[in-house]
Amino acid sequence: MGKIIFYEERNFQGRNYECMSDCPDMSPYMSRCQSCRVESGCFMVYERNNFMGQQFFMRRGEYPDMQRMMSMGMMFDNIRSCRMIPMHRGSFRMRIYERENFGGQMHEMMDDCDSIQERYRMSDCQSCNVMDGHWLMYEQPHFRGRMMYMRPGEYRNFREMSMGMGGMSQGSMRFMSMKRINDMCN
């Protein structure tokens, strides 16, 4: 079970909202979020309602100043929705594909990959099938840049996904590194 507390002001001040599950719209509870504390578990937070827009992974810890987080790669200063990431203790397995609709080169992964270009000689990843576990996919090698949370399921077209997420990217969203969400959520 996870628990995150959002605060309207920096340094955990002002009105707060405790969340222990998915929350598609935080606006009824608070007008803005300037700090938060993850007491347990892991969460994805989103810049827009209904889990849309840019996302950021948050693990157990304190985040006293959301403005400061912008310098750590988070490109938004307000949180509008959040999703709890369920703990997964089993195996991890994902197939990545070079092209949309599971076309082109295919590679099966069971561990983190800091660069698909270096490991697989793949210049692009446009679709995937997450069979086991929960993953973070990053647009740049070495787990940098914008990220997207992937839970078990088929993802046939990352470009359409990024458009459906509120214009996450100009053009097509590319993923160049992937990381398992595992014991980092304790």
Indicate if 72 and 101 belong to the same structural domain. Answer: no
Indicate if 54 and 115 belong to the same structural domain. Answer: no
**For the sheet containing 93-99, what is the strand order?**
103-109, 93-99, 127-132, 153-155
pLDDT of residue 172: 58
User: Between the CA of residue 107 and those of 18, 119, 127, 130, 168, what are the distances in Å?
Assistant: 40, 10, 11, 12, 25
**Over its length of 186 residues, how does the chain's per-residue pLDDT go in tens digits?**
799 999 999 999 999 999 999 999 999 999 999 899 999 999 999 989 999 988 889 999 999 987 776 555 555 667 899 999 998 889 999 999 999 999 999 999 999 999 999 999 998 899 999 999 999 999 999 999 888 999 999 999 987 776 555 544 445 577 999 999 986 665
Indicate if 102 and 180 belong to the same structural domain. Answer: yes
Between CA 35 and CA 89 the distance in angstroms is: 30
pTM above 0.75, yes or no: yes
Q: Decide which of 66, 85, 104 is a domain's last residue.
A: 85
Phi, psi (5° rounding) for residue 92? Answer: -120, 135
CB-neighbour burial class of residue 4 (10 A; exposed 0-12, middle 13-18, buried 19+):
buried
Q: Judging by DSSP bridges, how do beta strands 135-140 and 144-150 pair with one another?
A: antiparallel
pLDDT of residue 169: 44
Q: Decide which of 85, 115, 136 is a domain's last residue.
A: 85
Q: Decide which of 85, 117, 135 is a domain's last residue.
A: 85
CB-neighbour burial class of residue 148 (10 A; exposed 0-12, middle 13-18, buried 19+):
buried
Please give the residue range of the domain that contains residue 48: 3-85
Q: Which residue type does 174 have?
A: R
Nearest to 60 by CA among 81, 33, 87: 87
Indicate if 28 and 111 belong to the same structural domain. Answer: no
Indicate if 7 and 77 belong to the same structural domain. Answer: yes
Q: How many domains does the chain have?
A: 2
Indicate if 179 and 145 belong to the same structural domain. Answer: yes
Look up the CATH number of the domain holding residue 25: 2.60.20.10
